[in-house]
Amino acid sequence: MAHAMSTGSGVVLDLIRAGLATTRPALIDELGWSRITLARRLDELLAAGIIIVAGQSDSRGGRPAESFAINTDAGLLLSVDIGGSHTRVAVTDLVSTILIEDQADIGLWEGPDTVFTWANQVFDYLLRQLGKTRADVRGIGVGVPGPVDAATGRLAAPQIDAQWNDVLVQDYFSADYTAIFAVDRDVNIMAVAESRLGWPEHRDLTVLKVGLGIGCALVLDGRVYRGARGGAGDFSHSFRYGDELCSCGQRGCLEAVASGYAIRRELNALGYRIRTTGDIVALSRMGSPDAVRLLAAAGAEIGNALVDVAGLLNPAMIVIGGQLAEAGDPYLSSVREALLAHVRAFSGTGLTVEPSRLGNKAGVLGASLIAQDALFEADRISHLTR
């Protein structure tokens, strides 16, 4: 949100986007501006095609007040959610309603060239399906499976896979796109969507993305906390879990024993042929005792590791998403039971562990939301419309 003292049109747009004030009387109440100043800013936003008059809102009796909304037809957003073994893309409108989407079993280890070549081809196809072109795209939001330097938008180094070190996402998109780019870690975009759309009633959440790897995002007082270099929430590489080699190169990490990688390794050692987290989920749904047992054991390890997180941050809720969460119980129940058995009484009071409300859409919705935020950033809008 912009500084409340600013009198630019961006501040007005923030309130309309958030649904906090959508009529002239409500905007004046919220901002304390004169009617003339507000009228000027609304005219700027209307002239730029950023907002429209959405209808009449009979809020105060007497003559109904005009209500304003984002002009959802003023362009499109593209979103990309890249995981360990699975990537999902979507085209959304300017309020992040998904219009069309696609997915493939490629991800982190295929590297940025492969992933973005696929994504670009699919976007051209999806845009054609909608009768649109690259010129209609206003923002591109991307979730990547590693820390991002917020100042530069580059992936910070070192990443788990060196192919992703120092990657700048817009380098992989054609210059035909005049869109704004927004990039963040995959679990952070999931947390943005879960906190705003999934669980708006809670201001403090811990969000886990469990797939081949284990990602953790921290929502503190309604905002995703990223840390000094974009690496906050990295709790799956603490060393207390034996001697198993982890994808990060260390031994004994939580991820080495409780992730999709670990379950895949164990199942393949038993003679199964598992490639993706989707394969693990399918096996558990068929009632395979091995898959169910390994998922429950992994869930318990994660629950134990969350005890420290709950004690440090005192979240209202821990949300578990990502492909492995689609296995449901006993995986999720074993996370819940292990955590609640060992957490201190104070931190555990009222604490719940819930599956993602947005399911496999959380990542693309979050990517669209961060693109929306970058596009409608208050100072940028004030500058553009002035």
pLDDT of residue 57: 61
Strand ranges inside 1-58, DSSP E: 51-57
Assess contact for 360 and 88: CB atoms under 8 A. Answer: yes
Q: Which residue has the tokens 């957490």?
A: 343
Amino acid letter for position 256: A
Give the CATH superfamily of 76-190+363-385: ATPase, nucleotide binding domain (3.30.420.40)
pLDDT of residue 200: 94
Amino acid letter for position 179: A
Pair of tokens at residue 69: 């909304």
Nearest to 218, CA basis, from 331, 83, 316:
316
Instruction: For the chain, give every residue range classified as CATH 3.30.420.40.
Output: 76-190+363-385, 200-356
In order along its 386 residues, the chain shows pLDDT tens digits of: 444 457 899 999 999 999 999 999 999 999 999 999 999 999 999 999 999 998 766 555 666 778 999 999 899 999 999 988 889 999 999 999 999 999 999 999 999 999 999 999 999 999 999 999 999 999 999 999 889 987 788 998 888 889 999 999 999 999 999 999 999 999 999 999 999 999 999 999 999 999 988 999 999 999 999 998 888 998 888 767 778 888 778 888 888 889 999 999 999 999 999 999 999 999 999 999 999 999 999 999 999 999 999 999 999 999 999 999 999 999 999 999 999 999 999 989 999 999 999 999 999 999 999 999 999 999 999 999 98
What kind and span of H or E run contains 78? Answer: strand 76-82
Partners of residue 183 on adjacent β-strands: 142
pLDDT of residue 239: 66
Q: What is the DSSP track for 357-386?
A: SSGGGHHHHHHHHHHHHHHT-HHHHHHHH-
Nearest to 376, CA basis, from 23, 66, 50:
50
Pair of tokens at residue 371: 């693109």
- Residue 355: phi and psi, rounded to 5, are -70, 155
Q: Where does 9-70 sit in CATH, by number? A: 1.10.10.10
Assess contact for 186 and 82: CB atoms under 8 A. Answer: yes
Pair of tokens at residue 327: 């296995």
Q: Which residue has the tokens 């995703």?
A: 224
Is 200-356 a CATH 3.30.420.40 domain?
A: yes
pLDDT of residue 87: 95
Nearest to 314, CA basis, from 357, 350, 263, 360:
350
Chain segment 316-348, per-residue pLDDT in tens: 999 999 999 999 999 999 999 999 999 999 989
Residues recorded for the chain:
386
Nearest to 206, CA basis, from 109, 295, 107, 308:
308
- Residue 216: phi and psi, rounded to 5, are -135, 130
Partners of residue 65 on adjacent β-strands: 57
